[in-house]
Amino acid sequence: MPWISTIPYENANGKLRQLYDRVKGPNNNIDNIMMMHSLRPHTMEGHMAIYKYVLHHASNTLPKWYLETIGVWVSSLNHCDYCVEHHFAGLKRLMVDDQRTDSLRSAIELRNIDAAPLNETQKLGLVYAQQLTVNPAALTKDLVIQLQNASFTDGEILEINQITAYFNYANRTVLGIVQRDGAFAEYLTLPYENLHTVPGGLATDAATFVEPVAAALQIQEQLSICLLYTSDPADE
């Protein structure tokens, strides 16, 4: 939960309600990173615009999966677990190669760019993003020249710059205000795709049985269970 007051969907009106309607999920769910803007709706509108134009605009020439990779990399450097999980799920959908994405995730977690399943040019882009995130004041023109010599156009260097800057903004928004209070949050982090909204019509008492029932059913899917029949000697 955010550390500052926020306005839930059901209490929103005017401009805020219009913006919520653009970003809401099932059951009118609003992501925390957007809800934290609710006291200043104009900042939500700005956030939505820069996210769309930096990451999803048709004029970008770098592959979307690579831009998502930079986002996951920057979020990992900033220790923003929420952003890592959310955007890694998107990266996995874009790459459609579980083995490669898992290898990429492992390299990111180990801070070992050399082990990432990327070509040398793509790795250099991550080096630039790391420098811009961790120690921007020490970044020099030499690294930009290396990017140019590695075949990145100036426009693509700008794309890397902007996606890095955006994720630093988003990470600090989450880490500075949203966080993850509750559920032993200081000990527990869940992948975004593992979370499911409980339908409004489902009672809490019934909802508590969903996970254990699902676990039991998964066992049936994972194991081939056969019934063994042993005849009773009395029948022979």
pLDDT at position 232 is: 57
Q: Which of 59, 83, 102 corresponds to the end of one domain?
A: 59
On whether both 86 and 193 belong to a single domain, the answer is yes
Q: Is 20 a domain residue?
A: yes
Q: Is the pTM of this model over 0.85?
A: no
Q: Is 147 a domain residue?
A: yes
Q: Is the pLDDT of residue 207 over 50?
A: yes
On whether both 165 and 83 belong to a single domain, the answer is yes
Domains in the chain: how many in total? 2
On whether both 72 and 11 belong to a single domain, the answer is no
On whether both 78 and 3 belong to a single domain, the answer is no
Q: Is the pLDDT of residue 185 over 80?
A: no
Q: Give the CA dihedral 174, 177, 181, 187, nearest 10 degrees.
A: 50
On whether both 177 and 128 belong to a single domain, the answer is yes
Q: Which domain holds residue 186?
A: 65-200
pLDDT in tens, 125-152: 999 999 999 999 999 999 999 999 999 9
CATH number at residue 109: 1.20.1290.10
Q: Is 27 a domain residue?
A: yes
Higher local confidence (pLDDT), 158 or 204 = 158
Confidence of residue 191 (pLDDT cuts 50, 70, 90): low
Share of the chain above pLDDT 90, in %: 64
Q: Is 236 a domain residue?
A: no
- Determine contact, residues 185/179, Cβ cutoff 8 Å: yes
Q: Is 160 a domain residue?
A: yes
- Determine contact, residues 164/76, Cβ cutoff 8 Å: no
Q: Is the pLDDT of residue 231 over 50?
A: yes
pLDDT at position 1 is: 62
On whether both 106 and 195 belong to a single domain, the answer is yes
- Which of 146-155, 191-200, 207-216 has maximum average pLDDT? 146-155
On whether both 50 and 72 belong to a single domain, the answer is no
